[in-house]
Amino acid sequence: MSTRQSSRKVTLTRTTGETDVTVSLDLDGTGRCDVGTGVGFFDHMLDALGRHALIDLEVKATGDSWVDDHHTVEDVGIVMGRALRQALGDKAGIRRFSDVCVAMDETLVLAAIDVSGRGELYWELPIPAQKVGGFDTELAREFFSGLARDGGITLHVRRLAGENSHHLIECAFKAVARALRAAVEGDPRVSDVPSTKGSL
């Protein structure tokens, strides 16, 4: 694992026997994205995540796609989570908590975040179809699990309405993006770490 950091910008690379993943992110960006994982629908979702979170995001990943896309999607979540945690530093001055409902056509998804340092995903987003194009829909949960666990964020994702599998997954990515944007932005009324414990 190698890493470079400047301000709230991080570049991190992780190479295993299954994948080679490099993630660069800037939490104070404009939503500029350059994503290539070899998994088309997933690239579309990562692009939506970066754009709606206003995070500049570059993701380059190769994986053992001759097996399936599981390792690639999961490992991108892991590396993005680790980059997020590093970019947040000691978390001083952030808002920490956020919850957002996003509507997309018939679909309504709630995402709630606590940048707690205790990474866990709570997923209540049943997806009817097993595939969207060539993408295994269960992999959406795998991505967010890695992002939450390795990012040190408590993340709730819940379906409130909707049946279309494409819409549900895309709405989830956009809802998480909007919640993440609000949770990691600076709070002008807070200068220290937003916790009674003094650390997160």
Domain 2-184 = CATH 3.30.230.40: yes
* Confidence (pLDDT) at 151: 98
The mean pLDDT of 182-197, rounded to a whole number, is: 87
Domain ranges of the chain: 2-184
pLDDT > 70 in the chain, percent: 97
* Confidence (pLDDT) at 3: 53
What contacts 51, CB < 8 A, 6 or more positions away?
A: 31, 33, 177
What contacts 88, CB < 8 A, 6 or more positions away?
A: 8, 27, 94, 115, 152, 184
Closest CA to 45 of 171, 183, 182: 171
pLDDT at 198 over 90: no
Q: From edge to edge, which strands make up the β-sheet containing 107-114? A: 97-104, 107-114, 154-161, 120-124
What are the tokens at 176? 């998480």
Looking up tokens 């990515």, which residue turns up? 173
Least confident of 21-25, 61-65, 112-116, 186-190: 186-190
pLDDT at 2 over 70: no
List pLDDT tens digits, range 116-140: 999 999 999 999 999 999 999 999 9
List pLDDT tens digits, range 62-109: 999 888 999 999 999 999 999 999 999 999 999 999 999 999 999 999
Mean pLDDT (the chain, rounded)? 94
What contacts 196, CB < 8 A, 6 or more positions away?
A: none
Q: Say if residues 38 and 72 touch (Cβ distance below 8 Å).
A: yes
CA distances from 36 to 76, 81, 91 (A): 11, 17, 29
How many CA atoms are closer than 13 Å to the CA of 119, on its beta-carbon side?
15
* Confidence (pLDDT) at 6: 52
